[in-house]
Structure 1
């Protein structure tokens, strides 16, 4: 255990220690004073023989979602407790590596399933009471779904490449992730407003929070690795219905020029107009697309169903020029890895968020907002009470009920490679 984690562990108050003991059941441990080694508990039990048909009981994955916002002082205390629990897991040797030889699902048998069961017991996803077996039964299916939900993976109960990668991240890495994110959480929760919007970039998720509770959650699409979404601390001030989209300079160079070299009608098909520095509109045929000439012009897309911003844009002051918006490509929200933008954030179900943001703005009832979405008329609405906005980078957090969440360090800001072991699947 490194010095940073040791210091954090020692600094946890008596209150946190008591809470950690209380929440240890969710992690498969009993607290520091009466720790039970989950692996030994499992090995001491009589191996359970399962029929060829496996367990026929209907078992569902325990709920891991709550209405408690991630930006909450309660989450800070929960992460402190999780650090104690994961410190004990690391001290006891961590968890076994699950051989990533083939996909595992209900009906599978073998040593890999035995290792999977042990791994899920140690992390608290599978009850010790279910016993040792080499069978992937419905109890394991429910435990895998719970694990997947905690790690932002579609909860289908199938252990494929993404789940193998997450399940074989060493316990020491997860412990240091918690320590790193505890520091971040302590900073951003020092003064939490009553009403705000929070975008968690690694989770590609949005929370609209009011009076300490999550009023809405939205799936998001955030920046690519080479075009990351920045950290933001601002206020939402304006909503643009049926906006124009001005193509950023980076996209002109990296995307638009190569597309026009292959598809000369692209700009016309997608209603993107070209303007020179004097505001004169140019014909695409006037531009030499096999040079950098296009970088001297402004490209603006007219409002339409094909507009890259969709039907609405959420504005806020930002030195990076980023914003939140709708998208015509709704299918992208179903992707497992939603890191596909050039830095801005796309919002699934954005209409509900707009209604929530404009609640206090005169002339913006639900009926009026619905009509504004339908009529295709350009309209800019100033938010009467600007809503605080935070784009954060949190790859690990915990809930007061003991559920611990992890996400991939997509931008490599956690420094976790120092703690990864060579015999496991890296982040």
Structure 2
């Protein structure tokens, strides 16, 4: 069967092929509910179907509630009060390292039950047994979904790492992020249109009238090439753009790869279609470049539009001192993964055509069909937005929304001052 589920938002995500489930209810909290949707014969007992369903969840998250809503301030304060009580009561015990699938038995499941009872995903009357089944599977999926993990209902290493972040560290994250939220909500105009990239969540929100119109899976900067925080304004789109390689990519990727391939008798520029230009703007013969010399450092590089261009079919431009931007990607694989810190700082956006259409707002006839045609034909065109749209790159790892749902994400760039385990799952 297909399932739809609600992530504490009142908005449904459909067409996930997995088992029919009903989430455990927590008092005054409509935070995660699963329910059957008719019309599909797939089943979670088919591992291939389940994997595809989970990838689809990662690629197309539910719209949800806006991360920077002013209502999240009071909700996060309430979450802090709740976690202070948890800490005062002694927190929770660590869950032993184990890999356990639904319907399997393991002694670690006893500790898992106790852990989820403390944080509220599981009713108190579910303590005891060593089998990962029934309401416990549902509660574990709920926990995974609100902690930025793929809700597969399995006890696995990433889930154990998240579970074993101490209550004290989770409290500290909430307190730290309350300050961030307080500052950001003073800047964001909730009654207007804006875009938010929450870097630790690796997600992009398009927001209008304090409602998420569309949410997109993103790929953000690696730990050693972090995406910067910024406030800017989206002003332009480049359809089927030329990729001008940024300095970081030239120094850390292109030149080392050029040296490696030269040692094998190959040429990185010939293989990729990237072009090199000297200081006078003259194109350099790729076969004459010695990648072991200093000359490659003095060149600029660009890649024409095409199927191998890493910017895909559209690039979203805004002022940035760090030369970052948002763009499409010809590679879909990373969007279906839970951990998506893999870029050199720019943001890759899944289903970027939807975001492009929303940003343009039918500016000069730019409807969905016209955007789709640009992708199909590969025509080069630059388009200015009739109304620039505010953009915020933020770092929010813990927050609560107005419906009472508490969310945590990994401290990707170690900025919360908490234990390393909070960064590594």
2:113 paired with 1:137: no
- Distance across 1 between alignment mates of 2:312 and 2:208: 27
2:406 paired with 1:404: yes
- Distance across 2 between alignment mates of 1:195 and 1:119: 40
Shift of 1:192: 2.4
Report the TM-score, using the length of structure 1 for normalisation: 0.82
Matches within 5 A, 1:7-406: 26=29, 67-100=64-97, 102-193=98-189, 194-263=192-261, 264-406=266-408
The answer to whether the 8 Å contact 1:24/1:402 transfers is no
Shift of 1:26: 4.6
Q: 1:414 aligns to what SS in structure 2?
A: coil
Report the TM-score, using the length of structure 2 for normalisation: 0.82
Q: 1:233 aligns to what SS in structure 2?
A: strand
Shift of 1:66: 6.2
Q: 1:169 aligns to what SS in structure 2?
A: coil
Partner of 2:50: none
- Change over 3 Å in CA distance of 1:411–1:304 after alignment to 2: same
Q: Which runs of 5+ in 2 are unaligned?
A: 1-25, 31-60
* Aligned Cα root-mean-square deviation (Å): 2.1
Partner of 2:22: none
The answer to whether the 8 Å contact 1:125/1:143 transfers is yes
The answer to whether the 8 Å contact 1:360/1:384 transfers is no
- Distance across 1 between alignment mates of 2:290 and 2:396: 44
Shift of 1:426: 7.4
The answer to whether the 8 Å contact 2:68/2:184 transfers is yes
The answer to whether the 8 Å contact 1:108/1:135 transfers is yes
Q: 1:238 aligns to what SS in structure 2?
A: strand
Aligned residues: 365
The answer to whether the 8 Å contact 1:198/1:208 transfers is yes
Which whole-Å deviations, capped at 9, do the CAs of 1:89-146 have from their partners, x for residues lacking one? 000000111111x202222334311110010111111122334322211211111111
The answer to whether the 8 Å contact 2:414/2:423 transfers is no
The answer to whether the 8 Å contact 2:110/2:127 transfers is no
Shift of 1:69: 0.5
The answer to whether the 8 Å contact 2:267/2:287 transfers is no
Which of the pair has more CA radius of gyration? Answer: 1
- Distance across 1 between alignment mates of 2:173 and 2:167: 10
Q: 1:103 aligns to what SS in structure 2?
A: coil
Shift of 1:363: 2.6
Which whole-Å deviations, capped at 9, do the CAs of 1:57-109 have from their partners, x for residues lacking one? xxxxxxx9663201111111110000000000000000111111x20222233
Q: 1:291 aligns to what SS in structure 2?
A: coil
Which whole-Å deviations, capped at 9, do the CAs of 1:336-367 have from their partners, x for residues lacking one? 21000001000000011001001141131222
